[in-house]
Every structure is written in C-alpha cells, then in structure tokens.
Amino acid sequence: MYLNKSIKEINELLKNKTIKPIDLVEEAFQNIENNKELNAYITLNKEEAIAKAKELENKEVDNLLFGLPIAVKDNIVTKGLRTTCASHILDNFIPIYNATVVEKINEKNMIIIGKTNMDEFAMGSSSRTSYFGAPKNPWNKEKISGGSSGGSATTIAARDLPFALGSDTGGSIRQPASYTGIVGMKPTYGRISRYGLVAFASSLDQIGPMTTNVYNNALLLNALVGKDEKDLTSVRKEEEDFTRLIGEDIKGMKIAVPNYFMSDIVSQSITDKVKEIIEVLKSNGAIVDYIDVPYLENAVTLYQIIAMGEASSNLARFDGIRYGYSYENPDNIEDVYLKTRANGFGEEVKRRIMVGSYLLSGENAKVYYNKALSIRDDMRKALKKVFEDYDFIIGPTTTTTAYNLTDPMDDPLKSFMDDVLVIPVNMAGLPGLNLPIGFDSNKMPIGMQIIANSFEEAKIYKLASYLEKELNLSLNPNGGEDNE
Amino acid sequence: MSNYIPTIGVEVHVELKTKTKIFSNSINGYGEMANSLTNVIDLGYPGTLPTLNEEVINLGIKAAAILNCKIRRVMHFDRKNYFYPDISKNYQITQNDTPIGYDGYVEITKSTGEKKKVYIEEMHIEEDTCKSAHRGTKTLLDFNRAGVPLIEIVTKPCMSDGEDVKLYLEKLRELLSFGDISDCKIEEGSMRADVNVSIRKNESDPLGTKAEIKNIGSISNAKLGVEKEIERQTKIYEAGETFKPQTRRFDDKLNDTVLMRVKETGNDYRYFPEPDIPYVILTDEMIEDAVNSIPMLPDERRERYIALGVSEINTNKIVANRSLSDYFNTLLDEKINHQVASNLLLGDISGYLNKNEKTIYDTTLSKERFIELVNLVSDNTLTSKNLKDILDIVLESDKSIQTIMSEQGIENITDDSEIRNIVKGIINNNPESVNDYKAGHDRAIKYLMGQVMKETKGKANPKMAMDILVEELN
Amino acid sequence: MEEALTKEEVLHVADLARISLTEEEISKYQVELKKLLNDVEKINEVKGYDDDILIACWNNNAELRKDEEGTMLDPKEVVNNAPRHSGNYIEVPVVISEGEGA
C-alpha cells in the first residue's frame, strides 16, 4: 500500500527504486476492483497502463508526478482509448488524437488508469444521466456523487488513486467534490487548454484537477496549465508554481461572504458549518465581511440560456456520419440525423439541446442569448469589483449535502438548482475551489467554495491549505488515515 | 410584351489563396485524393477547436481595400447552424454580425461606354464546405475542401441586366486575381456566383418575387441565366400569374435555368457569436501592411501603359496576361520605347512562350537584356527578321544581345559612306524606278530599298538606308 | 404562464435539433420544455444592465496562426471511424437538395 502516502514520499520510494510505477498501477487497479460497485469508471486502461508502467522502469524519475496513476473524465479525448462522454452516441468511439491535457500528463509520465463516469456530455448534477449508470458516493452508496464529474470525485474520495481530471461548466468539479469530500479546482477560464475536451458550453467549460488534498491539487494544476496554440481561448501567462504560497499565514487577508450564499436557499447545517469556518478564519487574523453582490441570483438563468444555447450547437456534430453511433437502417439522410440522435442521446441531453435550439431560433438569439451575454458581462464586472477590496469570496459549495440516488429525476430544473452557488464562478471565468470543511449529521461531507480573482489560483491554495491544516478532518470514507 | 424593370443582386464566394485552411493547418489544395487533405478539426471531431489563419485576415483586408469597402476594426465570428452532410460540425463558422468589409463598390464600363458603380453591401470571411458526389442511392463525402477559406461578397440589388452581371463578375475576377486574393477559377469552383433576380413594373413598386440562380459554371452563363430568368418571370406576370420565391440552377445542356426547390419560409440558422474564437482586432499597422502589399491593379496598369504611349490594343493584351504585365511593370520607369517593348512581348516572345508553355519568368530575358533588345529594335539595329533568327538564343542564354548578333553574323552596316556608295550604285543601275519614283509611284522606293538590302545581304541599317535613299533620290 | 408547449412547438424544436420523438415523448416534452422555458423567462426580470456584449469571459485579442502546413490524417484513418464509407469517401444516403451554406 503506497498510494495513501504523500506524493513526496512516493517520489522518494520511486527514486530509490524501493517501488516501481507498476506497483502503483497494480495497487490502483486493485482498489478500483475492490470498489467496483461504486461504478466510477466507464473504461479501464489496464493493458496500456501496465505497459506504460513497465516502460517507465527504464526512465529517470524526473518530476513529482512521475509514474503516478491518474483518472481522466470521459469527456477528455484519449488517443486509442475509448471516449464516450457517458453517451450511447459515442459508446464505440476511439479518438485518433489526444487532448492537450492528456499530452501534458503524458509528458510528466503520469499513467492513465481509466476514463471516469459522468453525466452524459456533462449535462447533469448527479451523474445519473450517464448511459452507464450513476456512480455511487463512497460515504454512502445510497447517495449520489454529484456531477457531472461524479466518477472522478468518486474514485478520488474512495482513495483508488491520488489524481483525477474533471471538467467544470457550471460547477461540475466543485459540486461533486463537495458531495464526496475532496478538493476540486475550477481554474480561471483560459488557464488550461480546452483542446480535446468535448465541448458542452464553450464559453464556460474548463478542465481542472480533483484530488484528496490541497497540495496534490496545486501540484497537478502545475502540470496542466499553459497557453495552447490549438485553443484560442487559452491565455498566455508567466509560468508559476501553484504550491508556492502553501504554508503562508492568512493574517490580514480580506474575505467577502455574499449574503446570497448564506441565504435560506442553503440548508442550515451547511450555513452553520460555514459560519464555524468564518470564526476560525477570524480567529486566525483574517477579516471577514458579509456583502451584497448584484446579479448572483440571476446566474442560473444566464447559465441555462448560455449553456443550453451553446450545447445545442456543440452537440450538432454528433450525427452518425463521421464517427460514433449511427442508426442502422436509415431510409434517407434525414433518418440518419433524426434516429441517430433520438437513439443516441439520453433524455437530459435531448431536453437541453431542444431548449437550446429554441433559445437561438429566429429572434430568440437576441432576446435570450445576446441578452444573457450582456448580463453576464455585468455580473463579471460586479464580481471583479469585489476583488478590488477583498482577496477572496467564500461560501458554501452546495445548498444540501449529497441526496439519494433514487430521488426523482423528473424535474428539469433540479439539476440547475443544485449548482446555484457554483455557477456564478463560471459566468465570470473566475477560479474556484471546493474544500471539505466537515460533515452533516448523516456523516455526509460539506464543502466550502473559495473564489479569487482571475489567475489567482495560488492564493486560493494558500487559504485552502491553511484551513485544511487547521481543520485536520478525517476525510477517508474507508476510515483510514490520509497522509499529507 | 411590356417592359419590366429587373433588379439583380449577386453573391460571390471566392476561395482564398492560402497555403492552409482557415481554421486548421491542413493544406488548402485542389484535385488531391479524397480525404487526404484533412485533420480532426476539418472533420469536426469531438473536442477539436478552431485556430485562425493570419493570412486569411490579411487577404480579407486586401480584398476589402480592393473593393473600396470600409474595414471593420473589431470583429468576431458567428456560428450558422444547420444540419447538412457537407458541413462537418453542422454549423459553419462565418461572420454574420461583423463582416470584415462593408459599404464598398466596383466600377464597370457598359458597352455603351457608360460607367456604373456596383455597390457592395458587405464581404465576410467564412469556411468552405466539403464536396459531395451523388452516386445512385449514396452520396460520397470528400472533406478536402472543408475549411478552405472563403470570402463571400454580397452586392446591393443594384444591377439591371445580364450585361451588368457579366461585367461585374469579370471585374471582380480581374481585381481579385490581380490582388492575389484568389485564383478565381470558376471551372474549379474557386469562384462561385449566385444571382438573385426579380422584376417589377415600375420603380415605385416594391421589389418582385425573387429567384436565386445557383450552379453557374461560367460568366457567360451568368449573363444568359439572368436573361432567361427575366424572360421567364416576364412571361409569368404577363400571363397574370405569380410564382413562389425559389432556387434555380443553370443547366449547361439546356442553356437555361431549371427549378431546384421552392424556398421554405425563413431558414432558421440560429446564428450566435462563435465562443471558440476571441475578438479579432485589426491594428493600423496590420491594415497598412496589407494594403501596401496589394499588387498594382488592372485599371492602374492600363492607365500607366497608355500614358507611356502603348496602344490600347497592346495595353489590354498585356493586362490580360498577368505575368507579362508584371514583367512589363518593371519597365515602367525605364527610358525606352514602351510601344516597341509591348510589341516584342506580345509578338515573337509570346509566340515562343506559348509554343514552349513557359512564362516570361522561365526565360533568361532579364530586365537589362530586354532593355537592350528594345533599344536595338527601336533604332532598327536589329530587324524583326533577324530577331526571329536569334530569338531562341536570346531567351535561352545569358549573353548580351549584341554578342549574340555578332556571333550569329548579324552585322549592321551603319557606316554612312558605305551605305551611300551602295545607294548611289543602285540609283544608277535602275533609272526606270527612279523615274517612277519621281512620277509619284510609291512602290518604286520600296523596290529600290529592296535592292539596297539585297546588295548588303540585309545588313544595312534599314532606317539609315531609307534616309540616305530618299536624300540621294532628291 | 402557460403550463405546456403545443405539440407543434415541440415538433419545431425537435426538428431544429434533429431528434425524432415518439408521441409519448412529445407529450412529456410539452410540459418539461415549457417548464425550462418559463424559468428562462426570468431573464426579463433583470434590470439595469448595460447592453454591451462580451462573447466570453475574456476580452483578449485572438492570436493568429501562421499560414504553415501541419500534419494531416491518412484517408484510411478518416474513413475507419465513419459508420458508412466507400473507398476513401465517407458515405451517406443520397442527399437530394443542395447545401444552404457556402
């Protein structure tokens, strides 16, 4: 058992040849096997992973991530490894190129263990829209893991392996991280190349790291960022070490808590827990103010319009012509479209792309989409203004803790409301992180969101790690101890 | 049949002359093996994103400048959403809100000599679709053309007959090919025109029902198609009938337009700003650089050639040949006889180039050697007969023209007294012709001149010989 | 606000999205889609914003790509993933009308 050790310890063991990458890979696959009923994975990469681990035996251990297993959300394309987006329409799809982030983790010689379960095309908040069935919450197998990056959250929370990639369009990293008690970061829009991330809502999507602790999260982010010539929306920034502020004091830091985040839309056990944290922060020298931020309550509406509108266009390419599932006996070309898409997409996806098509049709684009872009810009400005006076915005990540897998799915608004607190961050392109801060009375994890100004991820890690150390929670659902 | 007033607008797509596609770095090429010029971006693979070719923007600026358009400084792209097998993402990336150029015009000259402006509503950048071939119950898709950069140029409905359309298309083709924007080869599809035609009884009436003519294979067919369409619509109205807005295509075999489909009301393209491409902001420097690198355009070429004394016929012939015209442009500031230079280029040299399937740039005729040649011919040191004899050497070796002439034994007697002696001898030996000359028979002097050339074996400088002959006869 | 879309409205958006629906689905979506659309109407309650549009959360200038060729796919790779193909071509049932685009 090595994977529960700290990354620095594992790195030492690899360097002095006490262990080999294959030991880590085998341990990860054993863990996944033991946790099979959690349904965290859609596809495992066993043969390739073992081959890669063996190949690494002859290579110099040249970085902290060398030889470490990682899970990749199944909407990030992996050359030669099935990528389904948890959809029937891609359930036979083998990509012929790698996403930029996959190239980057390959450069670090990390080993991809498998592709994680998710909501179909990342549309959902419980991973229950997956064609492959929902993953289960390691804290309580009756509960959802959240979504859409539910499989990545599950495998990390279950301690199968130390690293996973998720994607976050309207909270899809932070919300499942909160439900499963792990650390999940949605970086600033443009930080990480989206090339190879199957687009849901292009102006909101962002890939991010999901890990058991803050340090690992920052370490993985180091490997993922950078301007990519293949993604015009990626941003050129000077290279930095996101772990560099970890361990620094938070005295004098100014923190804003939007009143909306603490309003009655959030269950009391969660607001109580956040209030406790606020006291901890204050007693450690931070300054915390409650403030009003305009437009926060409009975020879900904006999100619905922008995300469904963009999705209706982004998912048009799945038509049964160039790749993927195609209706077997079409009479004509219209049949190819209509029946491929009717059979290939699940209900949530169909609902969203139909509504999205409506929102862009005729004059509606002006009435809805363009208007949403205008308001989004104002909302972004309003949030940016907060950062003229404050270092951070904090609040609960979710309004409740993880609910039952068997809860009804017939309310089309439910999945949006689950993300009401996390969506504003995507709207403004800001970085946001979920930090586990405790448990409710049912021993289900509660998460807090830490938001900073654009490109200030390092600062977020500083506050998060400070609290992580201060709270010193036992976050292993199997009961074992985690090392740093 | 009573007269109707036609209103015609034209939409032209031209493929831009770039090395690579607009949104990916695969090759922009024609006539290659099916699906050999593609990558995952052209095929709309999941997860792919567009990049933007800088040369496309550059050519877009040039085209806008050439078409006298205003140039937009901040622009974005839009998605035009529609399901069709020829568009891999089922949306086309185009410019709907912010076309790079707008409010332009080109000027045409009608056969009556009347000059007319054809107004350009807007011109925008977009991607081409894939090519489909229909085979029985199947359609075959070749994505080589998918993502080739296009500009679409949309005129105002300001033309009124087939001739306008023909002249506009010819002008556009000339401007864009001289501007190095596009090959403008209609037969290869690198220039494609759709023409909208409607007619109405009076200027004050609202515009009539529109028919769009597609699939026009040549400029003359565009003219013919418009004329046929005006005829067709007139007949319908004269019979007291109406028709629905429709798309027609020009049929080469019938030499007429045929119905493709009646237009459905309101195509719903669900345009919205393309979120994968940030704003494109044109700086003064980008615009200046692009505009300054526009080659000299045909009208200016014509003006300058005429001003240098080149005949109108020669001017038009040279401008019609891009590489000859570019070559000729290098001589504009030289003190030479430009008419002689144009004669040489269009005469024997063009003959040689055509026979050998070469351009002037494939020969050894440097600017300096051409100037020497023009001067030797201008003062008759080199006669056209002699030039014919040495032309291959002139165009295939590096030697000076004088050297070639002497190596080939082409002497030129320019010694006054030598020629005068010979002339005197001829006059003495041909008294009849001298009398004929004095009686006013022009032919006599030609005969005498011929005798002089015969005596000198063609080596006498013809101009000098003639001058001396006339002198001596008088 | 209305509780349901008409059948025609559902069929229209299904056509835009190219999804065929069963009668049962049509009646289900009449309600579900309307619920979403009613929610979206909340945008009309937002007041006081300015009309500028920002396409996304960035306002950076697009970095243009040099016009230099990159690697391309082998035609075999192109057709291998396609559900229907013939030789180097991707195949679809015959398309009658011409494209609306370029």
Task: Return the domain boundaries, chain B.
Answer: 9-198+260-284, 296-407, 416-473
B neighbours by CB contacts (3+ pairs under 8 Å): A, C
Query: Is A358's Cβ below 8 Å from some Cβ in B?
Result: no
Verify whether residue A148 is a known catalytic residue.
Answer: yes
Q: Note whether C72 contacts B26, CB cutoff 8 Å.
A: yes
Q: What is the pLDDT of residue B265?
A: 60
Number of CB pairs, chain B paired with chain C, less than 8 A apart: 149
The one catalytic residue among A52, A73, A115, A186: A73
Q: Which domains does chain C have, with CATH numbers?
A: 7-44 (1.10.20)
Q: What is the pLDDT of residue C101?
A: 41
Nearest CA in chain A to B137: A332
Residues of C in contact with B92 (CB under 8 A): 101-102
Cβ-nearest to B55 among C58, C67, C70: C67
Position C19 pLDDT exceeds 70: yes
**Residue-averaged pLDDT of chain B:** 93
CB-CB neighbours of A141 under 10 Å: 15
Q: What is the pLDDT of residue B54?
A: 97
CB-CB neighbours of B375 under 10 Å: 18
Position B462 pLDDT exceeds 80: no
Most A-contacting residue of B75, B270, B271 (CB-CB within 10 A), to test interface: B270
Q: Note whether A374 contacts C51, CB cutoff 8 Å.
A: yes
**B41-50, B306-315, C49-58: the lowest-pLDDT one:** C49-58
Position B383 pLDDT exceeds 90: no
Residues of A in contact with C52 (CB under 8 A): 374, 377
- Single pTM value for the model: 0.92
Q: What is the pLDDT of residue C58?
A: 63
Cβ-nearest to B82 among C62, C68, C100: C100
Cβ-nearest to C82 among A323, A355, A357: A323
A neighbours by CB contacts (3+ pairs under 8 Å): B, C
Place of tokens 């298309």: B169
Q: What is the pLDDT of residue C52?
A: 75
Cβ-nearest to C81 among A298, A302, A322: A322
Distance from CA of A460 to the nearest CA of C (A): 20
Per-residue pLDDT of chain A (484 residues; tens, 9 = 90+): 899 999 999 999 999 999 999 999 999 999 999 999 999 999 999 999 999 999 999 999 999 999 999 999 999 999 999 999 999 999 999 999 999 999 999 999 999 999 999 999 999 999 999 999 999 999 999 999 999 999 999 999 999 999 999 999 999 999 999 999 999 999 999 999 999 999 999 999 999 999 999 999 999 999 999 999 999 999 999 999 999 999 999 999 999 999 999 999 999 999 999 999 999 999 999 999 999 999 999 999 999 999 999 999 999 999 999 999 999 999 999 999 999 999 999 999 999 999 999 999 988 998 899 999 999 999 999 999 999 999 999 999 999 999 999 999 888 898 899 999 999 999 999 999 999 999 999 999 999 999 999 999 999 999 999 999 999 999 999 887 665 5
Q: Note whether C40 contacts A203, CB cutoff 8 Å.
A: no
The one catalytic residue among A87, A145, A172, A454: A172
Distance from CA of C45 to the nearest CA of A (A): 9
Q: Note whether A322 contacts C90, CB cutoff 8 Å.
A: yes
Q: Note whether B35 contacts C78, CB cutoff 8 Å.
A: yes
Q: Which residues contact A233 (CB under 8 A, 6 or more apart)?
A: A189, A190, A194, A202, B49, B275, B276, B278, C56, C58
The mean pLDDT value for B107-115 works out to 94
Nearest CA in chain C to A430: C57
Nearest CA in chain C to B140: C91
Most C-contacting residue of A318, A343, A352, A377 (CB-CB within 10 A), to test interface: A377
Q: Which amino acid is at A428?
A: A
Nearest CA in chain C to B269: C16
Q: What is the pLDDT of residue B280?
A: 95
Class of domain B416-473: mainly alpha
Query: Is A96's Cβ below 8 Å from some Cβ in B?
Result: yes
Q: Which amino acid is at B8?
A: I
Verify whether residue A193 is a known catalytic residue.
Answer: no
Structure tokens at B224: 């013919």
| Cα B303 → chain centroid | 16
Residues of A in contact with C58 (CB under 8 A): 189-190, 233, 235, 429
**A163-172, B266-275, C76-85: the lowest-pLDDT one:** B266-275
Window C:18-77, CB contacts with B under 8 Å? 18, 53, 55-56, 58-62, 64-75
| Rounded distance between C-alpha atoms, residue B198 and residue B7, angstroms | 5
Window A:327-356, CB contacts with B under 8 Å? 333, 337
pLDDT band at C102 (very low <50, low <70, confident <90, very high): very low
Confirm if B66 and C78 have CB atoms less than 8 A apart: no
Cβ-nearest to B84 among C75, C94, C100: C100
How far, in Å, are A123, A321, B147, C85 from residue B140 at the CA level? 34, 11, 18, 8
Beta-sheet pairing, A254-258 with A287-291: parallel
Residues of B with a Cβ under 8 Å from any A Cβ are: 40, 43-52, 79, 81, 83, 85, 88-91, 139, 141, 266, 268, 270-273, 275-278
Count Cα neighbours of A462 within 13 Å in the Cβ-side half-sphere. Answer: 16
* CA R_g for chain A: 21
Q: Note whether B47 contacts A197, CB cutoff 8 Å.
A: yes
Closest CA to B467 of B418, B412, B419: B419
| Rounded distance between C-alpha atoms, residue A108 and residue A224, angstroms | 10
Q: What is the pLDDT of residue C49?
A: 76
pLDDT band at C99 (very low <50, low <70, confident <90, very high): very low
Beta-sheet pairing, B246-251 with B211-214: parallel
Cβ-nearest to C35 among A321, A372, A412: A412
Position B1 pLDDT exceeds 60: no
Q: B307 versus B457: which is more confidently predicted?
A: B307
Residues of B in contact with A229 (CB under 8 A): 51
| Rounded distance between C-alpha atoms, residue A146 and residue A129, angstroms | 11
Confirm if A476 and A445 have CB atoms less than 8 A apart: no
Window B:281-340, CB contacts with C under 8 Å? 281
Handedness of CA A122, A123, A126, A127 (dihedral sign): negative
Q: Which domains does chain A have, with CATH numbers?
A: 7-250+394-471 (3.90.1300.10)
Verify whether residue A73 is a known catalytic residue.
Answer: yes
Place of tokens 């991973």: A127
Q: Note whether A316 contacts B85, CB cutoff 8 Å.
A: no
Distance from CA of B47 to the nearest CA of A (A): 4
Q: B303 versus C97: which is more confidently predicted?
A: B303
Window B:86-145, CB contacts with C under 8 Å? 86-87, 92, 126-129, 132-143
Q: What is the pLDDT of residue C100?
A: 42
Closest CA to B427 of B407, B400, B403, B455: B455
Q: What torsion, rounded to 10 degrees, do the Cα atoms A58, A62, A68, A70 define?
A: -110
| Rounded distance between C-alpha atoms, residue B50 and residue B276, angstroms | 7
| Rounded distance between C-alpha atoms, residue C5 and residue C26, angstroms | 10
